[in-house]
Amino acid sequence: MAARGLRRVTGAELARAGTYLRYPALTDLDTRVRRWAKWARALVVPADDKEFGGQKYVDLEKAEREAMVPLFKAAGLTERGDQVTCIGYGLTLRGQKGRSGLNTVKLTEQLVAGHGLERAVVEALIVACTEETGKPSEWIEIDIPKHAKVRT
């Protein structure tokens, strides 16, 4: 028996509303998507400096997408490319690894400590000394499928 005030969602309702209802952690996703859509629609009007409450629309739209990433993580959608639908929008988790760079301090210390190293050994040391220097990033990509009916 369902708790008071709650009812079981039927398959037809699930198909209409989107796949996000399969994940309990995403129950409030439709609110975020509606808020994102509001800012995205406002961005269509050509004005880069449009503001609301002292914040630019571009920043507000980006902040809404960034706020969806923890919801995806909480729902167990952690792989890049994981996708759900919500009120007619397709939401996909996208991301990239941080940049890698050569740590010259480590390389210098290891080369000085070991004289007469072969080329293969030096190349192996360079690979071992390479570490991420940038911060990995993740974001939500939202698109409207051609056949979808967007509900606001």
34-78 tens-digit pLDDT: 888 887 777 766 555 666 666 777 888 888 889 999 999 999 988
pLDDT score recorded for residue 53: 63
Can you tell me the distance from the alpha carbon of 99 to that of 89, in angstroms, rounded to the nearest whole number? 31
Give me the residue label for tokens 């007619």.
Answer: 88
User: Under a CB-based contact definition with an 8 Å cutoff, are residues 52 and 59 in contact?
Assistant: no
Can you tell me the distance from the alpha carbon of 82 to that of 94, in angstroms, rounded to the nearest whole number? 8
pLDDT of 141 over the 50 cut? yes
Q: Quick one: what percent of the chain has pLDDT higher than 90? A: 5
